[in-house]
Structure formats: structure tokens, C-alpha cells
Amino acid sequence: MLPSYCRATARLGLALALTCTALAPAAAGNGPAPKPATTVLLPTFNQTVAFGKATKADVKRTAELAVFEAKASLAAIYLVPAGKRTFTNTLLALDNLSARLGQAGGSINILANASPDSAIRNQAQRSIAELSRYGNQLELDEQLYKAVKDYAQTAEAKALKGPRKKFLTETIEDYERSGFALSSEKRQELQKINDRISELSLTFGNNIAAYKDFLLVSEADMKGLPEDYKKARPREGDKYKIGLDGPSYSTFMKYAASDEARRQLFIKYNNRAADKNLDVLQQVLLERQKKAKLLGYPSYAAYQISSRMAKTPQTVWDFEAKLVERVKQKTAQDVQELLAVKRTAHNDPAAATLNPWEVSYYNELLMKNKYQLDAEQVKEYFELNRVMAGLFQTTQHLFGLKFSEVKDASVWHADARMFEVQRDGKLVGRFYLDLHPRDNKYTHAACFGVVPGKATPQGYQIPTAVLLCNFNAPTAGKPALMSHSQVVTFFHEFGHVMHNLLTTAELSSQSGTSVKRDFVEAPSQILENWAWNYEALKGFAKHYQTGEVLPKALYDKMWAARNVGSGIAASAQIFYGTLDMTLHDKFDPTGRETTTDVVKRVQNQVMPYPYLDGTHMQAAFGHLTGYGAGYYGYMWSKVYAEDMFSVFEKNGVMDQKTGLRYRDIVLAQGGTQEELELVRQFLGREPNQEAFFKSLGL
């Protein structure tokens, strides 16, 4: 997953990505560009960001400096006479400007999401809002649009080829999607709408992060839960406090024998931030609808999807409908398997309904009883440091890399670690890992771009990415053990890291994950497959006490159980995608129907268990702001990911020759070519959906 700020700014019409170069844009006149000022968060060229030294004042100054420099760079672009425009003084200057703003935003965004200091965190959130507002101004800067259009008329522009031509074409298209067909008054109205959407989106995310609640349960309610889980829970008298962070919630839902306790925790979890975010979401949808109508689109979904691989909402609706049809039979089989477990567990042969708070619990019983797969036993083979070593070993081998940890790096929290990436003995990237949950930290798992690759006169800008995750922390006397699903998540997110760091794109606007939003998950989804492959697993999946390699018999059980519940899981993804599309394509935020009505209707249509009255999952569905009308992209991109993985299956999953081809054709290219063309090049044929459906067990 890419976090919302990263997605929201990924192509602000001006490629205002979370990317950077330490060079200021080239001056319009003669002579070199002035050397840019620095802060601890905007260091000199290819130096590391001093996160650990940053103060509230540094955060504020970094955002102010970035905007100040951008305005100076804009002035230089404006001053170029129409007949003197070149790629360097107009388009490259624009890419440099966007990149510099993006680097400031990328560094600040890490502190907004992970700093333990509330003063720094709050200032970072304010500064991100400031940078977003300025980005909205740039989208609607008529002089900048005119400069790009003037350049487009030159002989040099008309002779452009490859990535530079693509950048010019897409920049103009983005401008025109941003309202340059509108009058000046309408553009001002649009800017106000964009600012409002930015503010509301940040508020929506902050409300989720800040929301605090828990369930108090008795000793009896803890029956079935692992001992290390119980030991790690805070107590209030003789009661245990079960928080709503991912590991606490998912473990309780999987193992707690108490149906009522699970129901109560489910209700709390699915009401996170509902006290504030139902209204915020309604306002976001209203402003997005206003924006789409102002720009001449029938819906916000039509506006968003017009610049993506899918092109139209109807293509997405057809895609979702086809998925529903293909997974319907498997979903029904999954439900019958779980109902059989429920009937046995309760000695109730008439049980015919599955409730949402029961799915994880009965699924776990099914794994243990029918498939003899005990997730707690499996966890004993996935100690976090060994998993990390295995992930590193796999990616280093496939992509011809070497990782090394930087000791005493300047980081935002003691949990954060920094690594350098070398290729052929040359430093090509840096990444940070911050893996355990804590108060006021980003609550999911995501890759945050900070510094992307970019060609500069000083050499290639070394890209940097950060992984913020929430994997189980070590407990007294026991190391951090991961569920296999967490291992899969780790591989997934590291796929985004590799996409960011292995770029060779000339322009920051096309480097790393600066691809169409419905393709961006493919390079992360493909890497999940190595977390399922025994050849890869046996190198690191070892018992945390004995060092015994994951037994093939246990792995075979995991593999046999891999597609247990795959129909229900696929239905859940279809539900999320359909809910997102419905809210952005077929919902009137001024009408009588509420977002909760939509959730209820869509869930009852798509999911095999009924909506529970009194829950409001949409209030904490962060993708609604970050991926608005784009959640379908998870399944859309998975089709391409599985198809590309089929090449590895054919040649050998650890075949380095295939890994290097994938690195150079897909990861290195970023957005320099059309995504479908990159997939075709790698496959050597037209893509198809067969590998995707095979991966679901269909």
C-alpha cells in the first residue's frame, strides 16, 4: 500500500510526487542555478535526511523553504521568452520544482505519521496541509500552463520521443483535467474545492490515527488466546484491555472462544472514528462531486479513471461484475465449510447463517481441524529478524543487489533502522524500516516514498523509501514472531520499496511508483509469491528455538490451506472496490441515502454474511480518501502481477536471469512507458487473467 499523501500528490497535474532532487530548477537566464538552501529534512545532494535531529521549527522551516524556492523557480520559468523555451528551462525546471516540493513533503510526512513527539507530529500535519494547498495552486497556475503550452509549440517539443514526449503529453493532459478549459472565476472556485478536499482528507486520516478505544474483557473471555498475547495485554484491574490496532484485533478475532466478546470487539473496530469521520466523509464526497461536475465529468469516478489504465468507470464495473461471477461458486463453498465448523462447534445442525465476527474464528478452527494447520505453530517458524533476512536474501539475489545496515543513523524513533542498497558496488538507494506498533503511529503497513531517483548534473539522485508497519513486537522472553499473513504483507510492501529504489528514470515525475494508480500495486503483489514458495522459505523459515527448517509437511498443509476462504477474501476485495466505486460514481451526497446505507446495500449484495446494524466501517476505510474511485486497482493490478509471476514459475522462482529482466523492464522503467507495454515486454505476449484466477484456486 502507498499512503494517502503519496497517492494524493503522485500526479498533481505537475507530477508533484513524493520525489526529489537537491538541485534547484535551472535558472531562466545564463549561469548556473543558485545552490539551494538546506535543512535537516532537505539535506545537500545525496546526503541522508537527519530525521532524528528535526524539531518542530525544522519541520515548519522545511515546508516554508520548499514553497519559497518553488515560487522563485516559477518566476524563472515565467521569465523565459516564448520563443526561447526548451525542455531544460521549462519541462525539466518544472520536474525539478515538483521534485523539490515532493522531497520536503516526503520527509515531513514520515514525521507526521511516525514521530513520537506530538509537537513535531502536529506541526508536520499542518505543514503537509500547507504543501497540499500550494500543490493545488500549482495545478491551477495559468502562467505555468501557458509556459508548457508555449513550449509544446516549439520544434524541439514536436520532435520529442520516448519518456520526454510522454511527460509533455501527460503534463498538458493533467492541466486540462485540472480545469484550464474553465474561466478564471471557475478555476478559483476549483482551487477552493481542491483545498477543501486536501484538508478534509488529512482530517479523515488524522481522526483514524488519533482514535482510541478498547474492549475490557474478563479472564474467561480470553479463553483460546495464546499466552504471549495475554501477557502483552495491558490490564485494568482484573480485566484485559484489547486495543483496536491491527495485531491486537486480528489475533483476538482469530482465537477468542467467546462469540459475544468477538461481536463486541467487531462493533468497536468497525466504528473507529465514526464519531467524526461519517460527517467528514460526506463532505469529501460532496466536494469531489462538485469538482467532477465543474470539470465536466458525470462523476468523480469518471474524472479519476480517465487518466488510468481502465479509462472509464464502465470498464471497472464490468471488471467487478466478472470477478463476482467467477468467485461466486468458490465463496459459496467457503461459507459451507465454515458453517460445517460452526455446526460442530455449537452442536447446532441447523446453523445456516455466518456472521462477520465469526469468520476469522471458524476459519482458524477449520485450519486446525480439517487442514491440521495451527497458525500459532506456523508463527514459530517466522521470527521477524529471520524473515527480514530471508526477504533481503530473496530480493538481493533476484535483482542483483547488496543491502547493508547503517549503524547510528539519524532516525525518528529507536525502532527505525536504515539500510543502504548497492548494485555492482555502487550505492543506488536507501530504505528505512519501522516495524512495530506504538501510540500515534500510522496504523497499517505502507511504503512511503521520500527521495526518488532523478538524473541531475551532479549524478543520479539516490532514491529513499520508508516502510512503516505494525508487526508484532517482541515480548518478555520471546522474540517477535510473525503470522504467515504478516510475512506476506512484509514481502508485499517491500515490493513497493524495490519499485522506488531500482528506478533509472530521468525524471522524478516518472521514477519509481510514479505509474498509473491502477498498476502501482502490481510490483508489490508479485513479490508476495516468494513468501509462499518453499524454495525461498526454507532459507529463512526456521523455528525460533531449535533452528529447524519449516518442515515440508507443515508447508504442504499451508499450501493446501492457501485457498481456504479465497472466495470470501476475494469477495471482501470486490466489496471494498464496489463500495468505493458506488460512493464515487452512483451516490448523491446531497440526497437522503447515507454512506452507511450504501455500505449496508453493497455488503448485502456482495458479501456472504449480512451487514451488522450499528457499524460504520467506512469511517476508518482510509483508502476512500487516498484511493478515491481507485480501490479496484488492487484486484486490477493483481491480474498483471500474477501473470508476470507465471514467467518466474516457468523459469524457476529464484532464476536470477528472469529477476534481472523483471528489474530492468518493469521496476527500473517506472512511468517512462505505458504500463501495459512494459507488461507485454516482460511477458513476451499479451497479458491474460488465467494466472490470476488460478491464484484464487478457481
- Residues annotated as catalytic are 493
C-alpha cell at 260: 459475544
Q: Return the SS3 of 333.
A: helix
Q: How many CB atoms lie within 10 A of CB 81?
A: 8
Q: What is the CA radius of gyration of the chain?
A: 25
Spatial separation of the C-alpha atoms in residues 37 and 380, rounded to whole Å: 50
Spatial separation of the C-alpha atoms in residues 525 and 491, rounded to whole Å: 8
Spatial separation of the C-alpha atoms in residues 93 and 14, rounded to whole Å: 11
**HSE value, Cβ hemisphere, 13 Å, CA-based, for 526:** 31
Spatial separation of the C-alpha atoms in residues 337 and 561, rounded to whole Å: 12
**393: exposed, middle or buried (C-beta count within 10 Å: 0-12, 13-18, 19+)?**
middle
Task: Please give the single-letter amino acid code of residue 167.
Answer: F
Answer yes or no: are the C-beta atoms of 221 and 239 closer than 8 Å.
Answer: no
Answer yes or no: are the C-beta atoms of 50 and 78 closer than 8 Å.
Answer: no
**133: exposed, middle or buried (C-beta count within 10 Å: 0-12, 13-18, 19+)?**
middle
Spatial separation of the C-alpha atoms in residues 644 and 692, rounded to whole Å: 10
C-alpha cell at 31: 549561469
Answer yes or no: are the C-beta atoms of 330 and 318 closer than 8 Å.
Answer: no
**307: exposed, middle or buried (C-beta count within 10 Å: 0-12, 13-18, 19+)?**
middle
Spatial separation of the C-alpha atoms in residues 574 and 431, rounded to whole Å: 32
**Locus of grid cell 474511485:** 629
The residues, ordered by sequence, that sit 6+ positions from 528 with a Cβ below 8 Å of its Cβ are 488, 491, 492, 495, 641
In sequence order, which ranges of 461-618 are alpha helices (DSSP H)?
Answer: 484-501, 522-525, 534-537, 552-561, 566-585, 595-606
Report which DSSP code applies to 439: T
Residue 606, phi then psi, degrees to nearest 5: -100, -40
Q: By C-alpha distance, which of 263, 244, 176, 246 is closest to 470?
A: 246
